[in-house]
Structure 1
Amino acid sequence: MAVLMDAINPSIPKPKFGSESIVRQACILLILYLSLGVVIYWFNRHHFVGPKTNPVVDALYFCIVTMCTIGFGDITPNSNATKLFSILFVLVGFGFIDILLSGMVSYVLDLQENYLLKTVQHDGDKRDLATSYIIDVKKGRMRIRLKVGLALGVVVLCIGIGVGVMHFVEHLEWLDSFYLSVMSVTTVGYGDRAFKTMPGRLFAAIWLLVSTVAVARAFLYLAEARVDKRHRRMAKWVLGQDMTVSQFLAADIDNNGYV
């Protein structure tokens, strides 16, 4: 990276975006939204068909499965009113998933990056190693490869936890447990396998929400990695060319002193 700023002030402080407050607001809105869905399901529970356990657990399970666009098909609406409710619930739910996804990831990454930066600043012997493989100190953020690895690790962890619960709680064979776990995490939801017990559905209500967010973020990081790789190639090609001072200044399109 070509730097045109004064050597005394080589970096710009990392801005704060209030990710913690976004997470708090998103969680509160999500809880209220799910509570509203559970109440509506409760008053219309006789207009839903499928295997039943506990009405409240079934309501929460149905709302999560619907909002995460999994659609197992084990509980379905069978009246015009409940079908309209399902349509509105999933459409509005997209917004909550997006807000929660962005806020949670930003908050977690802020914590990780601040911790790593403090570690680097207080450990001079390991500064070069951390800078090379973990973080980019100039940009003040984790390297994209590490973020991709962490996101994929969370997805694998979600699948593993799902396999264990489905085998020991839902009493499925190991292969069927793995099959249902992957189909659920990837939001495919064929419907030939689903959660039938009350503990299983209670677990699924939390697990499906977390795993859906994790998978979505993993795909975003993979896309970001490809874009970052392309930008690096372009930057390498540009910096390999003979450029004049005026060309460097023209390349600083955002006037922040960096090219």
Structure 2
Amino acid sequence: MASNGTREPLLPQSPDPSAPNTNGQLSRRRHVRCRSAPLANLDPLEKIGAGSIQLSNSVFGKLHPSFQEVAIYLAGYLGIGAVIFYLVRQQITGKKTEGFLDALYFTIVTMTTVGYGDLVPNSDLTKLLACAFVFTGMALVGLILSRAADYLVEKQEVLLIKALHRHNKVGPTQILKEVEVNKTRYKFFVVFFLLLVLIVTGTIFLVSVEKLDVIDAFYCVCSTITTLGYGDKSFSTEGGRVFAVFWILTGPICLGQLFLYIAELTTEKRQKDITKMVLTRRTTKADLEAADLDDDGTVGVAEFVIYKLREMGKISEEDISLVMQEFEELDVDQSGTLSLSDITLAQAPHPS
């Protein structure tokens, strides 16, 4: 862009490396924190998990709004389902215990698509209700996977990092860095541990309460968590179904979350490989020409960073074009820089 006949670079250039340093030492670039940035004024511990949650002082403190939303949906779904299937309980056949408990158990088995077959709808009405509840239940499970499970895992990240580094004193800054670098891996570890606990707990319960042998108990646990639900082994006692109401909800969700984190880890590894390739290959003349956004024959630090980010796949050509378009619209005086007067003039209402 031109100013007084002189072409100025569109993006800010790096400082002159030949400029003297008053301290007599090599100059260091300082990363200035923008005062308007969302994380600018947060304590390091508060920034952990920012964008999804902010850590509270207690695991049982004030619930995150997204978790509250999921809890309300889940309670509403289970409550409505239990009442409806209780009212039509005479049209459901199978191994029954207590009326309302069976209705709640049937709702959860339908919602998680486990479908043991120990309770089966045997009328047109109950079959249609089951079809409706299985689709809405699957949608709700997806919502829980994306919000509630992730929320609970986030709550344990700091505790997990401190446990892994229990022999070393870890401060808030180190915890923040550790979480940002290895967030998905720690989530995977937490969910994997929770899944192991659920498998062991379910197996022990089926052996002690449902009186299954160890192999059958483990077989029932696996068919439930994977929502395979053959139905030859299930929770048939009243105490077993009370346990199943809570256990069946958490098992399949943890397994689904585990597979989600495995996919994220695979994607992250691929992204790191691309980043390493981009940063280690030699810079060529073609690279400099591609990085020169304002065509002034030189590449500033901002232009170089943008080019490298584009090569890594962090941003796209369309992203750059949109940002450049906004910059040009705000740069009213076409000076190549933005000032308060530029923004005021650009955003001022135009007379009709």
Q: What TM-score range do you get, normalising by the shorter chain?
A: 0.7 to 0.9
Q: 1:180 and 1:52 mapped to 2: Cα distance? A: 19
Instruction: Give, as a single letter, the amino acid of the residue that structure 2 aligns with 1:189.
Output: G
Whether contact under 8 Å (1:113, 1:141) holds in the other structure is no
1:48 Cα offset (Å): 0.6
1:102 Cα offset (Å): 2.0
Counterpart among 36, 55, 72 of residue 28 in structure 1? 72
1:172 Cα offset (Å): 0.5
1:152 lines up with 2:192 in the alignment = yes
Partner secondary structure for residue 222 of structure 2: helix
- Give the greater-gyration-radius structure (CA): 2
Whether contact under 8 Å (2:157, 2:186) holds in the other structure is no
1:7 lines up with 2:51 in the alignment = no
Partner secondary structure for residue 85 of structure 1: helix
Whether contact under 8 Å (2:94, 2:120) holds in the other structure is yes
Counterpart among 109, 113, 130 of residue 65 in structure 1? 109
Instruction: Give, as a single letter, the amino acid of the residue that structure 1 aligns with 2:32.
Output: I
Whether contact under 8 Å (2:157, 2:187) holds in the other structure is no
Whether contact under 8 Å (1:186, 1:212) holds in the other structure is yes
Deviations 1:133-188 (CA, angstroms, capped at 9, x unpaired): xx661873643322222211111111100001100110111111111111111111
1:96 Cα offset (Å): 1.6
1:44 Cα offset (Å): 0.6
What residue in structure 2 maps to residue 39 of structure 1? 83
- Greater displacement, 106-115 / 80-89: 106-115
The two structures, once aligned, show a CA RMSD in angstroms of: 3.0
1:105 Cα offset (Å): 2.9
Instruction: Give, as a single letter, the amino acid of the residue that structure 2 aligns with 1:20.
Output: H
Whether contact under 8 Å (1:113, 1:142) holds in the other structure is no
Partner secondary structure for residue 76 of structure 1: strand
> Structure 1 residues 82, 153: closer, same or farther in 2, change over 3 A?
same
Q: 2:274 and 2:76 mapped to 1: Cα distance? A: 47
What residue in structure 2 maps to residue 92 of structure 1? 136
Counterpart among 303, 307, 316 of residue 250 in structure 1? 307
1:171 lines up with 2:211 in the alignment = yes
1:90 Cα offset (Å): 0.8
1:199 lines up with 2:247 in the alignment = no
Partner secondary structure for residue 111 of structure 1: helix
Whether contact under 8 Å (1:163, 1:181) holds in the other structure is yes
Whether contact under 8 Å (1:169, 1:199) holds in the other structure is yes
1:53 lines up with 2:97 in the alignment = yes
1:240 lines up with 2:297 in the alignment = no
What residue in structure 1 maps to residue 262 of structure 2? 222
Which of structures 1 and 2 has the larger relative contact order (alpha carbons within 8 angstroms, sep 6+)? 1
> Structure 1 residues 149, 17: closer, same or farther in 2, change over 3 A?
closer
Q: 2:181 and 2:69 mapped to 1: Cα distance? A: 24
Report how many aligned residue pairs link the two structures.
245
User: Equivalent residues in 2 for 1:95-114 (5 A)?
Assistant: 95-113=139-157
Q: 1:9 and 1:139 mapped to 2: Cα distance? A: 20
Q: 2:272 and 2:52 mapped to 1: Cα distance? A: 26
1:29 Cα offset (Å): 1.7
Q: 1:163 and 1:38 mapped to 2: Cα distance? A: 26
Q: 1:148 and 1:116 mapped to 2: Cα distance? A: 11
Name the % identity: 32
1:106 Cα offset (Å): 3.3
> TM-score by structure 1 length?
0.83
Whether contact under 8 Å (2:67, 2:151) holds in the other structure is yes
1:6 Cα offset (Å): 4.5
> TM-score by structure 2 length?
0.62
> Structure 1 residues 115, 175: closer, same or farther in 2, change over 3 A?
closer
Deviations 1:59-115 (CA, angstroms, capped at 9, x unpaired): 111110110011101101011100000000010112221222222233224433466
1:161 lines up with 2:201 in the alignment = yes
Q: 2:262 and 2:101 mapped to 1: Cα distance? A: 35
> Structure 1 residues 34, 141: closer, same or farther in 2, change over 3 A?
farther
Deviations 1:18-57 (CA, angstroms, capped at 9, x unpaired): 6811111211221111111111111111111101100111
Q: 2:160 and 2:219 mapped to 1: Cα distance? A: 37
